[in-house]
A and B are shown apart, each in its own frame.
Chain A
């Protein structure tokens, strides 16, 4: 049996909350054994020391009394605000060419945000939404609780993609809100016309916050399965280029490699974690990989 849920299956389910819950619960069971507890101010309980726990967390006074190693555990602080920034530009409409029913990058982004915010809501974190396309932006101020999550889902459902990613100047007011002690997920394909996304990432990461760039890629881009004469059309500019797929494959891969290298270098400079997600792979697996890698980073 497949451990993860096939995205094609998910694409057929039109119920966004159900998808979010299914995906999140599927892997949260094994992963977050005690998401409520951690290092903090508010005491919660003592726990037997286990190899691997940092020695600094051993309660030495209790050790003196009982001659046993105990670790103090506390309620996790939840001062972090999660911001989900969705790039709603037209290029996000790209989907797998061979599967017309599959999710586009934009759909994937919506469901990804729904799932991530569900996890955030479960953990008691604050979360907000910012969707950017053209000169209009949709903003949901941070909040928590299930009602807030449903509000966010409603906004996600109403989102539409189109136009191009806005200039940093236009979204200045929004950026200032993101810069305060928050975890910002930027979900985009990171294709830009000039450098508006770079500028955005640059400004967002400038504040007191942690930025995670989630790059959505589809299988078509990675493997370039096209054959024959293909007329590629840019979703944003409408420009068309007619190529023979077999001869374009090498140059495509070269160009993509170069693009990725440049993007990675840029993100590295900005101290932004870049996660590339293949939208044709199971979403729960991507989340699982992402969350477990974050845990490694933390510990």
Chain B
């Protein structure tokens, strides 16, 4: 049993505290060009440097004994004036640009959603920490994401036993979250605690009706220390060496991210031995049919993936377009239930079967009616091809057990992050800035008048 998750923090566990600079935003960022007017007071300062009014007198000796002014004393007033004016203009520009705070910034009203998988996997101290973190904040709620909302909208209290969570196994928290967020007007931040585990997330990512903060935790299950040993043989004939390389790359990726126990051999078809009982997967890349020994059930491997008939049913690359996030679709599209137990795993838009599975004794035989090289099909170019391969080659029950804790792939993380969620309303700071402007304007006028009358 393996769990080789991509350990990656999706959102840092930064609590949304008070007013931080990063929380500020602009309603009209284009108006920030108005900051260019800051040049005006600076230019005034440069051109209008007060170095004392010049008065020509006949006899300098008369002021010889007077206390000399230092230029710095004059400059101080000048710089102060410059500072005031620059702040005034900056404030004006910020008012134009619409400096705004997140509208619901009161962090003490946070709503915390915890996915059941997280609660099941989290060690007790993590749960205690979570409770501790939100217990002192007034009116913050910690809720469990579950199906029977809102009838069972109970607070998450520390006493939930892990056994109770088993029936709550939820494979897709997107619709749940979207439903909750649209049904209830949430005051304050919404924090979601989930595992970075694929099993929780469904195939598509809806746009949520409001922003949420994600806390994705990675809790390694015991599988991690016990890699599942899988052996594979990739046999190819002389025309299929390119296909073999494509497959090899996919297997590399699988070994790196999913099956650390995977080991495989690349051999040519003429070197095929008779006995494959110890081999889990035999991947046969050849135009000819499977070698005779395979018919013998005693010598057969568990899974055979072959494109032996591919040459006969060549499919032009343009026709082969898999949906972007298709993992689950391989499962749901098992429609063809033919007499000799042949199932179509995946078919093309025109109902031509692409992947067909035949169960013959202990061996599953999967026919791929194309080839892996790019000239034939684009399937190997899809980012999820290793995942597809894995799902084909591993039985459903194996997969459920082995990859429950599998992490979110980097490409999937991106899908989660690039959300088009409705942003929170912003609270404009214009009135505050205007008041500040008036406050600064008064001393500016005073100082400026004083300077004009030269009375300092």
Determine how close the nearest CB of chain A comes to the CB of B56; give it in whole angstroms: 5
Please give, as numbers and ranges, the residues of chain B lying within 8 Å of A8 by CB-CB distance: none
Mask, B358-402, CB within 8 Å of A = 1, is: 000000000000000000000000000000000000000000000
Partner among A97, A105, A239, A247 whose Cβ is within 8 Å of the Cβ of B67: A247
Q: Chain B: which residue is nearest A188 at the CB level?
A: B58
A230 to B456, CA, bound (A): 11
A231→B66 contact, CB < 8 A? no
Mask, B48-79, CB within 8 Å of A = 1, is: 00111111111111111111110101100000
Partner among A105, A233, A244 whose Cβ is within 8 Å of the Cβ of B55: A233
Asked whether any CB of chain A lies closer than 8 Å to the CB of B161, the reply is no
Mask, B431-456, CB within 8 Å of A = 1, is: 00000000000000000000001111
The B169-217 residues at the A interface (CB cut-off 8 A) are: none
Determine how close the nearest CB of chain B comes to the CB of A209; give it in whole angstroms: 27
B57→A251 contact, CB < 8 A? no
Please give, as numbers and ranges, the residues of chain B lying within 8 Å of A191 by CB-CB distance: 58-59, 61
Please give, as numbers and ranges, the residues of chain B lying within 8 Å of A39 by CB-CB distance: none
A237 to B58, CA, bound (A): 9
Given contacts A243-B63, A244-B73, A245-B454, 20 further A-B contacts (CB under 8 A): A93-B58, A94-B56, A94-B58, A191-B59, A227-B453, A228-B456, A229-B74, A230-B54, A231-B54, A232-B63, A233-B55, A233-B56, A234-B58, A235-B57, A239-B60, A242-B71, A243-B66, A244-B69, A251-B65, A259-B62
Please give, as numbers and ranges, the residues of chain A lying within 8 Å of B67 by CB-CB distance: 243-244, 247-248, 251
B63→A252 contact, CB < 8 A? yes
B68→A231 contact, CB < 8 A? no
A-B contact pairs, 17 of them (CB 8 A): A91-B59, A93-B58, A189-B58, A227-B453, A228-B52, A229-B74, A231-B51, A237-B60, A240-B54, A241-B60, A241-B68, A244-B69, A248-B63, A251-B66, A252-B63, A252-B66, A259-B61
Determine how close the nearest CB of chain B comes to the CB of A251; give it in whole angstroms: 4
Determine how close the nearest CB of chain A comes to the CB of B140; give it in whole angstroms: 60
Asked whether any CB of chain B lies closer than 8 Å to the CB of A256, the reply is yes
Asked whether any CB of chain B lies closer than 8 Å to the CB of A255, the reply is yes
The B246-292 residues at the A interface (CB cut-off 8 A) are: none
B58→A91 contact, CB < 8 A? yes
Q: Chain A: which residue is nearest B450 at the CB level?
A: A228
Asked whether any CB of chain B lies closer than 8 Å to the CB of A92, the reply is yes
A255→B62 contact, CB < 8 A? yes
